[in-house]
Structure 1
Amino acid sequence: MTRRILVLGGSWFLGRAVVGEALARGWEVTTFTRGRSGSVPEAARRVRGDRTVSADLDRLAAEGPWDAVVDTSSSELAPREVRKAVRALRGRVGRWVHVSTVSVYAGWPHEHLTEESPVLDCPADAGPEFGYTGPDGSPTVYGFQKAGGERAVLEVFGREAVLLRPGVILGPGEYVGRLPWWLRRAERGGTILAPEPRGLRLRPVDVRDVARFAMDRAESGATGPYNLAHPDGLTWEDFLRTCLRTTGGTGTVRWAPPGTLAAHDVRQWTELPLWRTHAGVWEVDPTRAVAAGLHCRPLAETVAETWDWMREGGAAIPHPRAAEHGISPERETAVLAALG
């Protein structure tokens, strides 16, 4: 019998990758989107609606049942809205695979984290105002909200819930623009401002590897939480060398101490995408996921294939967060000049 899966989202980046992976495995796929951006493969059945509207969720539930659901569209939702969807689909899906974030951990990005690390406390019925952002940028309102969303899923699905906690997801179709910005910067050449320590290892995961792991969990196996991070990663130096080689850029990298960048108010995580000085930012332990079958392609492949996607005319769906990323040429020149 053909297995059926519901993908909440499905029209861009991770959601679209999950749909493609499910179709490749022979699943019958239903997607639920608002129809405002992106598209889904013709082989998938598309149901349009707003998951914050009860009538739309009731209409969706009538399309079931499904063996599993993969929720890729809750990142901007308050916990009470996540709970609304979970309750509406209760009894219509067998397993709930919920895409969350490492930001749910109380110790992120300061500490080495495993799935047993404490999670921020947020009720399942919280509204969008719940939580706070600390003076050093952690914890975040976003982290509290996502923790509440996890709690909403667990309230209903309990042991049949899978919680995926990725850090940074990169790859073709990336809408935030972190890797695309570095690729464009490498292509432009010249002197490229980069953060020390150059030997720090970055551990983002490829969107297609996350999609494959999500489908593995939808099919069978252990439930519960999984940290998703690249077990090997790339150092900053190798990452930028790969970007230059991939784009054919002729630039040279100028490494700047964190104190110098701070003195010029260079914004972490955005003006220099992927850079953050907190000790635990890339110290999320993926051991449990790797033991369960997480396979991460070399990040050099992710870089190269994202560049191929960009050169072939690939353009991410416009997203307000994309404008935050990347230091302006004028700002970069000023910081470089201060380095002497």
Structure 2
Amino acid sequence: MEMAIEETMATEKSMKKKRDRRFVTPKYVVFISIAFLAVITQVPFVITLYFSTLDWNLLYPQLGKQFVGLSNYAHLFTDVLFYQAVWTTLKLSVIILSVSLVIGLLLATMLHRQFVGKTIVRNLLFAPFLVMTTVTALVWKNMMMDPSYGFIAALFKLLGMTPPDIIGNHPVATVVTVAVWSWTPFMMLILHAALESIPEEVMEASRMDGAGRVTTFFHIVLPFLQQYVFICVLLGSIMIIPLFGEIALITAGGPGKVTTNLSYFVFEEAFHGYNLGSASASGVVASFITMFFGSILIRMFQGRKGTA
């Protein structure tokens, strides 16, 4: 009997080793994948670094390309408009992230309950995230906020009031509104999935102990959601800091430079000023700024995860 058991266990071990061997990724496949990622991500960055050392303006092709070293960076760090773009980027990112996160948490909490048509409501709430940035920006600009024939203008006319020029008078609020409309579903989906994973036994125990909804939310739900909120902030920051479409299509960085962030600043240098050297330097600095804040958030996330 013991011999039969040992033979069976040995057979199972050999079969498991064969299965494990079958699912091991060959080394050459890993190397090819790494090389492919390096080519499509690092080669363009290296080329941009090279361009950033040149004085190259497409308006004057007869001058050609002239190597100027770090002059483009020196000029960039003395440009007041650059610092204004950095401040605008930080301001817009913080506001959009905060508002999207709060509204996303409220919607996720609402969806955590059972009600008729929950699936339909959830899909409708998530739909804005799937709409292309170009479509979103043009719909809000022309169909919602246009002072002549937009939906908001029609409501004001219906009430006998003069329609306001929302985009011209409140450009920052306009960009924030459109971006929040696009990114709130992303926050909602992550937080909703986190709420669905809370053990029902914990919630039932809190109810049996007499804890109300508010107490349960602040002492059980929010501590449980901390890691997921950090994920929302991390991913949201990486994707919202280089915000471009809403600004380019709605405000074009204006009025003046009020809504010009780093992404639009680089765009203006390249496609309005046709100065590829300066634009490349701006892009490199913008990339390092994004990576700097991303690395800080990752370290904070890892630190919190280690102490959890």
Compute the TM-score of the two structures, normalised by the length of structure 1: 0.18
Compute the TM-score of the two structures, normalised by the length of structure 2: 0.20
* Structure holding more helix per residue: 2
Q: Which structure exhibits the higher relative contact order, with contacts defined as CA atoms closer than 8 Å and separated by 6 or more residues? A: 2
